[in-house]
Amino acid sequence: MKRVGLEPVVLEASDRPAGSWPRYYDSLTLFSPAGYSSLPGMPFDGDPDHYPHRDEVVAYLLRYADRLDADIRTGTRVEEVRAAADGSFTLVLEGGDELSARGVVAASGTFGRPLRPALPGVEDFTGAVSHAGEYRAPEPFAGQRVVVVGAGNSAVQIAAELAAHAQVTLAARHPVRFAAQRTLGRDLHWWLKRTGADTLPLGRFLRTPPTQLVIDDGRYRAAVVAGAPGRRPVFTGIDGAKVTWADGSSEEVDAILPATGYRPDLGHLARSVHSTNTATRSTGRAARSPTPASPTWGWSGSAACPRTPSAGSAGTRAVSLGAWRRTCTTEADETADPGRSGSTYVNIDVCRTSRCCRCWSPRLPRVSCRAARRSPSGR
């Protein structure tokens, strides 16, 4: 934005510009090498083939924020975004203060909105239930009987770590599927880039999101095979502290830890963008350009979730990855339909793959959103 003469203001709810990374669990490391996890213009320190630890990512993001020379306001939470009739936006901040803007980019991520699925009988469970987003270390669970729900990276990593301190079962509705982190001495991301597989528009061919693969350096498959953690289908019911399994057996459990992912944290947009025609309905991602007769490009889908609801479409189905829609605003357009705004709203919270994260326009440089936008499992 600064390259094209804009002066962005970054509003960060936490006390430092490092996103959700300081709150991830203590042992977390990226499963993408540093060379594939850097933001534009500043590589990670050290060997580009190493896998950065959580604290290393936090330090990197803080250094990156310092070098941006941007107006970054920490401790500033946006409660609501209101779209005005003239096409501008009013941002209502926690505490009641307001800011005005011609354009808004929602980059609030997903960590603030954990997905808590309706597990059978969990409302009657008398033990502890905590989402993986609240997990930090295994020591508080020492000696306990723990059920980790999920089959993705976070679920497997947390379950394997806990298994050294507690009796752990990994419960999921489908089998864990592993992908080798390194093949023939090369990281998976090297192969994806070399073959072009990371940019294939797979979303358009998928009726449902694909099952997430667990990126494995050999430790996690071996742990599951060895029964530490154990593996079962999701329980069918709960009575007090007793969990009933699909085979009819039951046992007492101390804690249930759902590692079931997150959803876009866009509550601040709920009343604003849905109620206006400012956002482009066809894509639900971008509105008209602030400059007459200039093109705006909007991304409208995801390889991981081709049906991600879009913040500007009032819940209509988003089209699949790779469907880029060009809309051109002209003076004639504005005269014919004065309700069409000249402001811009872009939602990047549904990015899932490198193709999505390199949002491209003929008029703007590529923007990469990698390390700062990774999930707790390091995606």
pLDDT of residue 312: 29
> What's the rounded mean pLDDT across residues 244-269?
93
pLDDT of residue 366: 37
- 110, pLDDT greater than 70: yes
pLDDT of residue 209: 64
Alpha-carbon distance of 352 to 301, in angstroms, equals 9
Return the minimum-mean-pLDDT range out of 76-80, 205-209, 217-221.
205-209
User: What is the reported pTM?
Assistant: 0.71
Domain ranges across the chain: 2-113+263-373, 122-177+212-258
pLDDT of residue 203: 66
What's the pLDDT band for 108 if we cut at 50, 70, 90? confident
Domain 122-177+212-258 sits in CATH at 3.50.50.60
pLDDT of residue 355: 37
**Average per-residue pLDDT for the chain:** 76
> What's the rounded mean pLDDT across residues 308-312?
31
Return the minimum-mean-pLDDT range out of 38-42, 153-157, 298-302.
298-302
Q: What is the pLDDT of residues 64-97, one digit of tens each?
A: 999 988 999 999 999 999 988 888 899 999 999 9
pLDDT of residue 300: 29
Does 204 or 14 have the greater pLDDT score? Answer: 14
- 278, pLDDT greater than 90: no
